[in-house]
Amino acid sequence: MYRYLLLVRFGLLNLVAASFLLAAYLQGWLNPILRADLVELSGAIAALFVYGFANCALAVWQTSCELNDLGDGTPATGSHAARYLGSLPAGEGKNEVTAGVLRLRLTNRISGVRQVANSLVFLGLIGTVIGFIIALSGVDAEAASDAERVGAIISNLISGMSVALNTTLVGAVLYVWLIVNHRVLATGTVDLLTTTLEFGQTQAGQPQAGINGRA
């Protein structure tokens, strides 16, 4: 098993994604979003993405370190693997229950990232609704025959549609970025779960001296 393989995958994925983002910025493709009305909505979506990305990066680091420790045969004190292995001597009949608890703990660690990713889409849809409200708020059937007021109505429509489309685009793109990272994390978590269970089977009935610290 290669050390920090999960971390390398995570880093390469985000290096490619960040490169595309930088290229889009340098080409000026992000200017319509950055200079649009109510850019704060897109900023709020981006801030939520950063929060979810930070949690994902932390979970990837923890998972990668725990996989390395298991590969060395010395799970760190307080890690999920150490707690699982420490509970095995309680009785063979409880092994399945203990494995289920381990599975729930590992799932709980990564579930927050997916929830944040889903929230990005919902925030984008909220921005879409707000944009349509802005676009339609200035529509007046009586003003349609007034040439002086038609220009203001069209301007209001353009502004509202800009908000709607920009927030939808930002939410969708950042959702895809974060959910792909979640997929990488989920794969690493499954590897950690299976490796821990296999390690526990090999250690069953043997002294657990190796779980109190890293090598």
Three-state DSSP state, 92: helix
- The tens digit of pLDDT for each residue in 5-27 reads 899 999 999 999 999 999 999 99
- The tens digit of pLDDT for each residue in 183-199 reads 999 999 999 999 888 88
* Residue 130 near residue 41, CB atoms below 8 Å: yes
State pTM to two decimals.
Answer: 0.84
- The tens digit of pLDDT for each residue in 99-131 reads 888 888 899 999 999 999 999 999 999 999 999
* Cα 45 versus chain centre, distance: 13
**Neighbour-count burial for 57-81, b at 16+ CB within 10 Å, e otherwise:** bebbebbbbbbbbbeeebbbeebbb
Query: What's the one-letter identity of residue 149?
Result: R
Has residue 212 got a pLDDT over 70? no
CB proximity list for 100: less than 8 A, separation 6 or greater: none
Residue among 42, 36, 189 nearest 112 (CA) = 189
What is the average per-residue pLDDT within 67-90? 79
What is the average per-residue pLDDT within 188-211? 73
Residue among 29, 37, 4, 69 nearest 173 (CA) = 29
- The tens digit of pLDDT for each residue in 134-174 reads 888 777 666 666 666 777 778 878 888 888 999 999 999 99
Residue 165: what pLDDT? 92
User: Helix 39-72 vs helix 95-137: angle between axes, to the nearest 10 degrees?
Assistant: 170
